[in-house]
Amino acid sequence: MDKVAVVTGGSKGIGLATARTLRAEGARVVVASRKSSAELDALAGPGLVHLPVDLTDPEAPAAVVAHAVDVFGGLDVLVNNAGGPPPGVSLPRFSFLPLTDGDWREMFDFNLFSAVRACRAAIPVMVERGGGAIVNVSSAVARQPGTMNVDYSAAKAAMTNLGKALSEEFAPQGVRVNTVSPGPVRTPWWTDEGGAADVLAAAFGSDREAVMEQVAPEAMALRTGRLLDPQEVADVIALLASPRSASTTGADVLVDGGFHKGV
């Protein structure tokens, strides 16, 4: 894959696995995130660079696209992976009523508007280049909302809708836009101290390892019986970004361990 790619939120979890996979496939990669990580530093080199940015800054997504053009000469692939809990926020949250307007704004800034701004910057570059591929990382809860994390679910539902709309407008100009909707993935969102595993352990009177190994998979009726591995999502992202998916656009691909039950 002799392409130039941008991966947002690429210092850990799904984004890190995606950056590693795209680089292994031959793409030159710009990773955008607030901070790097030891794992990302190990990948850095002439074909992979890190740009430290706060993607909730309205100017940051365009700066990332411009950096890819400056360093590698263009942009062919955009993976809008940044998302999850905004800085300083612990998820899950269990009710709608305590959420303030500020909570909603923070959630949408991080999970939707960062992608909107990145697409706005990337699409003209891709069109001028003759085409490209955008993969937006949404969530299975965009299709199957519940009482937890209602603001996050709503932001991801908007992300899924965005992908469909952009595909409709820009596929005739050679820009494919697809969405990947993961279920629960064993990432730092779950495993960090104070993360989802600890929050759920306190709520269910369990411990963090039991939550990740048994409680959460059972509560979410994951038919595979386990949380996902980030690489399993990254592999689908890489496929949708590649020429092997040349006729796939406007799709929303679930990678969720059987969480979503609807037809």
Residues annotated as part of the active site: 152
What does residue 235 show for φ and ψ, rounded to 5 degrees? -65, -40
The DSSP 8-state label assigned to residue 113 in this structure reads I
Q: Do 234 and 261 contact (CB within 8 A), yes or no? A: no
Torsion of CA 11, 232, 133, 80, to 10 degrees: -40
What is d(CA 217, CA 11) in angstroms, rounded to the nearest whole number?
Answer: 26
Q: Which residues of 72-98 are buried (b: 16+ CB within 10 A; e: fewer)?
A: beebbbbbbbbbbbbeeeebebeeeee
Q: Do 67 and 123 contact (CB within 8 A), yes or no? A: no
Token pair, residue 237, equals 């992202």
Dihedral of CA 138/9/57/6: which sign?
Answer: negative
Query: Tokens 């932001």 — which residue?
Result: 155
Query: Tokens 């850990």 — which residue?
Result: 12
Q: Is 104 strand, coil or helix?
A: helix
- CA–CA distance from 219 to each of 85, 90, 197, 213 (Å)? 21, 19, 13, 11
